[in-house]
Structure 1
């Protein structure tokens, strides 16, 4: 699965954290260090499988937990219009 960042979204990264602003809805979202790590993978065009593998390498977490947590995270970003599913 591939995801793209909505063209109405701008972001700023500082000290490993990010702020996303949806210019269309005027809503902003704060990402912690892990959220920013995943955001950067998405920004680089990684597929869902590639993101899962990178997270497994970077964090002490089970594969099932990565799949569950990443699905929740991506579903939320899609729901609020930050990213779009390209499949």
Structure 2
């Protein structure tokens, strides 16, 4: 299960999240879908479970939701915004 990096500060403004990585000195903006995913990256949800939630909430196909989730997760991992899952 993936989890947000606890060192990353974030706030939700008008349905969109602003993330601040104080170690890197960088900020990132997430749209509404990205914010929805970010909130579920709590260590209790798998990417597949998150995709199911998105598909139901936004009334889109599961396959498209899973692609969107995987793409965002890869981007967040690239910027060290997620904790690595235990091996």
Q: How far has the Cα of 1:44 moved from its partner?
A: 6.7
Q: Number of residue pairs matched?
A: 86
Matching of residues 36-75 of structure 1 within 5 Å: 36-43=35-42, 45-75=44-74
CA distance in 1, matches of 2:82, 2:25: 15
Partner of 2:2: 3
Q: Which has the higher contact order (CA 8 A, sep 6+)?
A: 1
SS in structure 2 at match of 1:19? strand
Instruction: Please identify runs of 4+ aligned residues in structure 1 that moved more than 3 A.
Output: none
CA distance in 1, matches of 2:42, 2:13: 16
Q: How far has the Cα of 1:39 moved from its partner?
A: 0.9
Q: Structure 2: which 5+ runs fail to align?
A: none
Q: How far has the Cα of 1:43 moved from its partner?
A: 3.2
When normalised by structure 2's length, the TM-score is 0.88
Q: Structure 1: which 5+ runs fail to align?
A: none
Q: 2:5·2:80 contact (CA, 8 Å) conserved in 1?
A: yes
